[in-house]
A and B are shown apart, each in its own frame.
Chain A
Amino acid sequence: MSKKLSVPEKIRSLAKEVFDSIGKKDTPRLETPIRSLSNVEYNDKEGYFKILGKMKERTMTASTIKSFAQSLLMMNESKTLIEADDIATKREMYYISKNWGDAKFKEQPESDSIMDDIEAMMGVNREQIGFIPEEKGGDIAGELVVVDKDPDTGKPLKIDCTKMGTGAYSIPISVEHLQFETKAKFILAIETAGMFQRLVKHKYWKNANCILVSMGGVPTRACRRFIRRLSDDKKLPVYVFTDGDPYGYGSIYRTLKVGSGNSAHINEYFCVPQAQFIGITPQDVVDYKLPSHPLKDVDLKKIKDLIKNDPFIKHHKEWQKALQQMHKMKVRAEQQALAKWGLNYVIEKYLPDKIGNKKTWLP
């Protein structure tokens, strides 16, 4: 596969390969990169989960024939969309498949997975194969002007994120065309909408001269790409503020910083290697005497799994230590637990302290 080919051309050439093997009575195959943590590697220099060469094969076996057919059918949809300069949401793609008879998807995750595979085969972004996600990208407030384009006229359109009142600016699904104007000193990415609201309400961004991003759980691709572009563009440090639990560390922070196994093929662009963790650490639970909740068995299992299998955690001793400490303490603490010391304690004490003291960060 040459990289110069357009997506429709690539789809045609893959289909031609399949067709030719069938013509020669050779068993047809489609190969897709394996998207999982077992097929990524991590090192500091690159700073993200880099995909390795492992491939999976779909062919004429009972376990792969269905996805083989589905892949070809979806490739056809993708080609049609691009040629018509149209897009479909992931959900819409799932409904389109209902015309495929036996080959239709039963649940949307099946459809999403095939979509990610095609994306990985093409080596491009989902948007470039004609599909867009449903989910919101995330919310922005603070010292930032986003320069977008008017969809009708194509003229530049400036959005001032300081003038959102108690609301926020929504990150669009595609962020490649955006430009930024800012004098902020850093970007603060926050796990929960609740904490984001508190910081917006009290204009934390104004006092601290920063840009606030609400991730709302695991950051979407658009959110990751937005932060990356903004940070690269304006040379801003990125601080990440999550709950003190294995999900906050291993899923939210890690995915933002180095990407995920599932989207291994596009991590290079959808990661923020410069991000630093200033969220609730197990040591914070002790130091700030935070109210905590006992860890459940699944949490303990997730910790063990992170230490054992996550290439990023395996690379950083600090993270292993922190996770081992948490496993020992058997407790987790939420961002909002800081409210124990007063509603604005987080603004007045915690964040200034943490941001001011590199030793309390985790890599």
Chain B
Amino acid sequence: MVQKTLAEGNSKGKKTSKAHEMAKKQRSISVAEFFEKNRHLLGFDNKRKALLTTIKEAVDNSLDACEEARILPEISVEIIDMNNERFRIIVEDNGPGIVKKQIPMIFAKLLYGSKFHSLKQSRGQQGIGISAAALYGQLTTGKPIRITSKIHKDEPAHYYELFIDTKTNTPKIIKEEVVHWSAETGTRIELDMDAIYQKGQQSVDTYIKQTAIVNPHCTIIYTDPKANQIIFPRATDVLPKEAKSIKPHPHGVELGMLIKMIESTDSRSIQSFLHGEFSRVSSAVAKEVCEKAKILPNTKPSEINRDMSERILKAIQNTKIMAPPTDCITPIGSNDLERGLKKEIKAEFYCATTRPPSVYRGNPFVIECAIAYGGDIEGDKQVKIMRFANRVPLQLQQGACACTDSVMGTAWKNYGLQQSRRSIPVGPAIILVHMSSVWVPFTSEAKEALAHYPEIIKEMKLALQECGRKLAKYTSKKRRMKDEMKKRGYIEKYIPHVADALKKILSLKETDEKMIEENLKDLLEQSRGKLKDIKADNQEYDEDFAKIGEEEPQEEEKDE
């Protein structure tokens, strides 16, 4: 498309150099145009994924906004089937709303957002997701995204219809009006797009369900394309601890980033820049870095050239700097994690673990994991792995994810599951892995899989091992019980023969024979102890809930 508009009109005859010719084709590409051609990078590569990605982006944004505003989230998601693979998606929340003048930018400009520049545990990161969804809708249906938002109960709501100008990556306002909305505050998004609705592991249904599992503080009202309404009521009124934003840690910074930070700083000296814009850098440490880089501490940032930046970076790497603060991470907590699993799965045994915070590339993070074992879970298949990052379910690209790698790299045989060398274990279990961090390292912008940082994999394995050990306790207990049951059954089998032989030898009566059998059974109970029933009663289990997203399992998508 780009070439088409450019290549024409160029004459024959006149000799122009090849370079000139090529220069005419060279020009900057807008991000929006880039997306148009590379939609798969953001999770819009097919119609089924487009639906999931759109809902995911919208819900993630709503949850982030509510939590930041300390509002208990109540989110309504509605998918309307408009036939011929066209759907209308409506997502509405009770969040803080969006200031009027920001609405066009947030929904109709790619890479516009609040989260990219701060390091803080949140679901969204780049500010590309929802506007990409708007663009996808615009491209497939020619219809604008419709936004209604209200920021205060005494102020009116604002309604927008927006297009994205793909050449300039700027919003084009189609319609703008003040409307009445009964809600106190909130935001409502409505857009149409070409999509396919399916059930299964990678479906919207599963996304909503898993989101409810790891966000027990949120209520979701979901209406599927067949107009079935499912309400996921909140299980707790306690909001997760407020996520704090932290300054970047020097050990996580790269040269390009450092140069950019130096260029845009207001600090007067390089020392105060280091002290002021990074976490865990005291004046003394900043001075030490400057000395190691052979740069005067009071050098103005504007005088720092590329070469000096590189020296600073090197000096940073050679300086001992305290690990970043970790109180900015709010994990789900092993109790809530376990409760969430119980709701979803009817198993015999549950356990969960939350690891202490750790750091990769200067970013603090926390790994949690949980295991459900036995009960209704099928035993002869590979275990199901549920992956989450900052409370967002990861449903695609399982094979490429660090979670999967960690599960495969753990020795499950010791914990009572079958496993062939470095593969996903087999057995009646479901394994849940959750990573919380100020910056979650995804392998792509589509946010489908976690990157393989050794520090992260190490923490995941430690978490899995911790859970594994709890599991092993249970499985070995269960095995012992099974052995005991078998032995008991075996002994009981011969009781009638003992009674029969004694009856014949001693010419006993039937009643004596009965007495022998009963007394022997009592004796067995006495000497071997009462068998404890190990089947745990799961009060939390919700059958209807568990069924959501389960029908019509589809084949695992082939990722390119």
Contacts and interface: CB of A to CB of B under 8 A. Distances in A.
A68 interface: yes
Query: Per DSSP, are chain B's interface residues mostly helix, strand or loop, or mixed?
Result: helix
A15 B502 contact: yes
Given A62-B491, A65-B491, A19 B508 contact: yes
B243 interface: no
A206 to B, nearest CB: 55
B515 interface: yes
Interface residues of B, number: 24
A68 B498 contact: yes
Interface stretch (A97-105, A156-164, A238-246, A322-330): A97-105
B506 A16 contact: yes
Interface stretch (B36-44, B150-158, B203-211, B516-524): B516-524
A76 B490 contact: no
B523 A27 contact: yes
B295 to A, nearest CB: 80
B501 interface: yes
Contacts of B526: 25
Given A27-B523, A76-B501, A62 B487 contact: yes
Query: Per DSSP, are chain A's interface residues mostly helix, strand or loop, or mixed?
Result: helix
Given A62-B487, A101-B497, A102-B497, A19 B516 contact: yes
Given A23-B519, A76-B505, A79-B505, A61 B497 contact: no
B505 A75 contact: yes
A93 to B, nearest CB: 14
A61 B504 CA distance: 23
B494 interface: yes
A22 interface: yes
B497 A12 contact: no
A304 interface: no
Given A25-B519, A27-B523, A60-B523, A19 B502 contact: yes
Contact of B506 (A15, A60, A102): A15
A27 B519 CA distance: 9
B512 to A, nearest CB: 8
A356 to B, nearest CB: 58
**Interface size class of chain A, counting residues whose CB lies under 8 Å from the partner chain:** 20 to 34
A302 interface: no
B516 A22 contact: yes
Contacts of B498: 18, 28, 68-69, 72
Contacts of B493: 102
Nearest to B490: A62
Contact of A68 (B494, B506, B515, B522): B494
Contacts of B490: 62, 65
Contact of A76 (B504, B522, B527): B504
A357 to B, nearest CB: 58
A66 B494 contact: yes
A299 B120 CA distance: 79
A27 B502 CA distance: 15
B277 interface: no
A60 B497 contact: no
A57 to B, nearest CB: 14
A51 interface: no
A30 to B, nearest CB: 10
A73 B506 contact: no
A72 B499 CA distance: 9
Contacts of B500: 73
Contact of B520 (A60, A72, A76): A60
Contacts of B520: 22, 28, 60
Nearest to A101: B497
A70 B512 CA distance: 20
A31 to B, nearest CB: 16
Given A61-B491, A62-B487, A69-B498, A15 B522 contact: no
Q: Give the one of B505, B520, B524 with max A CB within 10 A.
A: B505
Contacts of B502: 15, 18-19, 22, 72
A92 to B, nearest CB: 18
A100 B497 contact: yes
Given A12-B506, A15-B505, A18-B502, A102 B494 contact: yes
A252 interface: no
A25 B501 contact: no
A122 interface: no
A72 B523 contact: no
Interface string A153-194: 000000000000000000000000000000000000000000
Given A60-B524, A61-B491, A22 B519 contact: yes
Q: Give the one of A18, A66, A69 with max B CB within 10 A.
A: A69
Interface of B: 487, 490-491, 493-494, 497-498, 500-502, 504-506, 508, 512, 515-516, 519-520, 522-524, 526-527
Interface of A: 11-12, 15-16, 18-19, 22-23, 25, 27-28, 60-62, 65-66, 68-70, 72-73, 75-76, 79, 100-103
Give 4 closest A-B pairs by Cβ, nearest first.
Answer: A72-B501, A69-B497, A62-B487, A15-B505
14 contacts: A11-B505, A12-B505, A15-B501, A16-B506, A22-B515, A22-B519, A28-B498, A60-B523, A62-B487, A62-B490, A68-B498, A73-B500, A73-B501, A76-B501
Given A22-B519, A27-B523, 8 more contacts: A19-B506, A19-B508, A28-B498, A28-B520, A69-B497, A72-B497, A76-B501, A76-B504
